[in-house]
Amino acid sequence: MVDDAFDVTMYDAKTLAGDGGGGETKLMATAGVQDTAVPTSYRGPLATVTTLFFMWGFVTVLNDILVPHLKSVFNLNYAGVMLVQFAFFSAYLLFSIPSAKVIDWIGYKRTMVVGLFIMALGALMFVPAASVPSYQLFLAALMVLAAGITVLQVAANPYVAVLGPPQTASSRLNLAQAFNSVGTTLAPYLGGLLILGTAAPSMDAARRASAETLQAYRIHEASSVKAPYLFIGLGLIALGIAISAFKLPPIPVPERDTGRVQGYSPWRYRHLVLGMCGIFLYVGAEVSIGSFLVSYFVQPEIGHISAQMAAKYVSFYWGGAMVGRFIGSAILQKARTETVLGIAAIAACTLVGVSALTSGSIAMWSIIAVGLFNSVMFPSIFTLAIAKLGPLTGDASGLLVTAIVGGAILPVMQGMLADHLGIQIAFVLPAICYVYIVFYAFKGSRPVVPV
């Protein structure tokens, strides 16, 4: 899930370099801070920063509701409306490295505040976008919103990691990510109630309408996003002001390990390059599935339900990922990472295939169940990809983060397939992605040290 995305270049290379078989990424970095410099109690600051995880999870998955809504408002095909995800996830590629530079300039706390205010600007831009209405302005608002989330993630994740004893850093990050998952679970349900309130006319009816009637319809339908995003924007401003006033403990900016080793480059490590492909395909598959669920469930042969009701079922998809994190965390303490990843990918691929070949409730619940198995994929691929890289781990981590851009590209590709072959057959694309992840788990992840 996209909520697993964070900038790990902030961490010490030695603590990030795992053995590839010990479970989740060992995010127990001290970011250059000595144990004696870490105060003993951070409950208040931790609770404050954890609210950020909820907010960006909620806002990110709300895109799954925007996709069918904007498709109806602007009479778009599937490929065209998937520009929503393209605009959003492109921000990870464009703003991750600049965000890390901002931390160097103004520190963690101020960077988090800046991220919240940028998010607020993006959310408030939805009001004029809906008033015009303009699809291009909606896309611009989404990119600004995602830029703020990127800034926030780059600062908040490492901050939580160093906000206490290093031996419990992983526990704190898991707790924060759990709140992120709460946001991703609630967003489709609430978004469906607030945004998908009215039935859309058919495409043929929209084409037959006069220009004046069509424009009036678009203004009326687009207006349903105003109140939710206005509330989100004002809430983000209030949260930014609160955090700026809250006395958070200062954390020194870490010295970055450039990863430059004489004669070596991260690109020479096969398991890292293949891992980048794995992250690209995993994020792309997860986002693609989530983006199509509402449109998929309203199909007569699948769910034959309203868009509002379909949005409620989307919450089960992301809720499965939340539950899977807790289950996966326990399993990964005793099982090899590559084995867990491979089994999860096989299960996900099988479930997508079942959904594509069946109909009714079987098709619905099989695709929803994919979320449960998605939960362990990002941390598992990441851990395997950085194994045995030593001082090159910092650069490798940055490369893996940029691969999240798969969430921008694959949904558009699936949209093209849906336009030409049908929405159900288009799920063959994420199925292929999971096949690759199976390959990576059992073969491609084996570290091969270049000579």
CA distances from 157 to 145, 315, 401 (A): 18, 24, 13
Sign of CA dihedral 31, 36, 37, 42: positive
What are phi and psi for residue 264, nearest 5 degrees? -125, 155
Q: Are 9 and 29 in contact (CB under 8 A)?
A: no
pLDDT category of residue 161 using cuts at 50, 70 and 90: low
Render 70-104 in DSSP notation, one character per residue. HHHHTT--HHHHTHHHHHHHHHHHHHHHHHHHHHH
Task: Spell out the residues 6+ positions from residue 110 whose beta carbon is closer than 8 angstroms to its own.
Answer: 244
- Record the tokens describing residue 322, joined without a space: 């939340």
Q: Which amino acid is located at 203 in the chain?
A: M
For residue 438, the model assigns a pLDDT of 97
Q: Tell me the pTM.
A: 0.81
Q: Which amino acid is located at 447 in the chain?
A: P
How does DSSP classify residue 168?
G
CA distances from 317 to 5, 53, 185, 300, 326 (A): 18, 19, 8, 20, 15
Predicted confidence (pLDDT) at residue 260 exceeds the cutoff of 80 = no
Q: What share of the chain is helix, strand, coil (3-state, %, to 5)?
A: 75, 0, 25
243-282 as b/e: b if 16+ CB within 10 A:
beeeebbebebbebbebeeeebebeebebbbbbbbbbbbb
Which carries the bigger pLDDT value, residue 327 or residue 422? Answer: 422
Cis (ω within 30 of 0) for the bond into 166?
Answer: no
Helix axes 211-222, 63-73, angle to 10 degrees: 160
Strand partners, 264: 261
311: nearest Cα among 297, 323, 300, 301: 297
Highest mean pLDDT of the ranges 89-103, 218-232, 313-327, 429-443: 429-443
CA distances from 410 to 252, 366, 383 (A): 38, 21, 23
Which carries the bigger pLDDT value, residue 402 or residue 298? Answer: 298
372: nearest Cα among 436, 313, 328: 328
Helix axes 63-73, 83-124, angle to 10 degrees: 100
Which of 47-56, 111-120, 431-440 is predicted least confidently?
47-56
Neighbours of 34 (CB within 10 A): 9
For residue 169, the model assigns a pLDDT of 58
Fold observed for domain 8-25+42-444? Growth Hormone; Chain: A; (1.20.1250)
Cα separation, 70 vs 78, in Å, equals: 11
Cα separation, 378 vs 243, in Å, equals: 29
Which of 111-125, 155-169, 214-228, 294-308 is predicted least confidently?
155-169
Domain boundaries, the chain: 8-25+42-444
Structure confidence by residue, pLDDT tens digits, 347-403: 999 999 999 999 999 999 999 999 999 988 988 898 888 888 877 776 787 788 889
pLDDT category of residue 248 using cuts at 50, 70 and 90: confident
Structure confidence by residue, pLDDT tens digits, 29-56: 333 333 333 344 577 777 888 888 899 9
294: nearest Cα among 123, 64, 58: 64
Predicted confidence (pLDDT) at residue 7 exceeds the cutoff of 50 = no
Mean pLDDT of all residues belonging to the chain: 82
Predicted confidence (pLDDT) at residue 8 exceeds the cutoff of 60 = no
CA distances from 1 to 69, 232, 300, 392 (A): 22, 22, 28, 26
For residue 36, the model assigns a pLDDT of 34
